Amino acid sequence: MQVVVFVKATPESEAGEMPGTELLTAMGNYNEELVKAGIMLAGEGLHPSSKGARIKFSGKKRTVVDGPFTEAKELVAGFWIWQVKSMDEAIEWAKRCPNPMEGESVLEIRPVLEASDFGEAYTPELQAQEERLRGKLP
């Protein structure tokens, strides 16, 4: 299974403060461990939301809102994509991460949805329809 691991933003990361050498080194080592174990598929750090934008949808209307956005803890400062056996394994690896921020911080692990996750409601007929529809996409 694949999981996305989000590094939640902090006021400092939103202010554009870059991590120090010590943290960068620790993170580098941790990433190396992930790569060596064959579980890391991708990972990136993100600019603060002041450089981002949101597209708001309301019916057919689209509104572009430029950053920054408030509520730092609801924002994301970086992410990984891992291939793991289970959520347990993802949690175990995440616990080994050096604190990704200088102060308090949060990692959030979210498993990537697979067809089988939709359960019984997602009948073979619906799945077949989905496949047909997807087949028509460019």
Partner 1 sequence: MTDVHRTIETVWRIESARLIAGLARIVRDVGIAEDLAQGALVAALEQWPQTGIPDNPGAWLMATAKHHAIDLIRRNVRLEQKYETLGRELEIEQELREENFQDNLDQDMDDDLLRLIFVACHPVLSQDARVALTLRLLGGLTTDEIARAFLVSEPTIAQRIVRAKRTLAEARVPFEAPRGAERVSRVSSVLEVIYLVFNEGYTATAGEDWMRPALCEDALRLGRMLAELVPNEAEVHGLAALLEIQASRIRARVNSRGEPIPLLEQNRARWDQLLIQRGLTALARAEKLGAPLGAYTLQAAIAACHARARTPEETDWARIVALYDALAQLTPSPIVELNRAVAVAMAYGAQEGLELVDELLDEPSLKNYHLLPAVRGDLLAKLGRSDEARAEFERAASLTQNQRERALLLERAAAQKGT
Contacting residues toward partner 1, per CB under 8 A: 35-39, 41-42, 81, 83, 85-86, 88-89, 91-93, 115, 124, 127-128, 131, 134-135, 137
Per DSSP (E only), the strands in 36-111 are: 40-45, 53-58, 61-66, 76-83, 107-111
3-state SS, residue 7: strand
The residue among 71 and 88 lying less far from partner 1, judged by its C-beta, is: 88
Residue 120 CB, shortest distance to partner 1, in Å, is 13
Q: Which residues pair with 76 in a beta bridge?
A: 8
Whether the bond between 68 and the residue before it is cis, its omega within 30 degrees of 0, is yes
Looking at the Cβ atoms of 12 and 41, the one nearer to partner 1 is: 41
Report the nearest approach of partner 1 to the CB of residue 105 (Å). Answer: 18
Position of tokens 């939103």? 14
Closer CB to partner 1, 15 or 126, in the complex: 126
Residue 125 beta carbon to partner 1: minimum distance, rounded to whole angstroms: 8
Residue 35 CB, shortest distance to partner 1, in Å, is 6
Closer CB to partner 1, 83 or 105, in the complex: 83
Angle at 119 between CA 121 and CA 137, to 5 degrees: 75
Query: Residue 3: which H helix or E strand, with range?
Result: strand 2-8
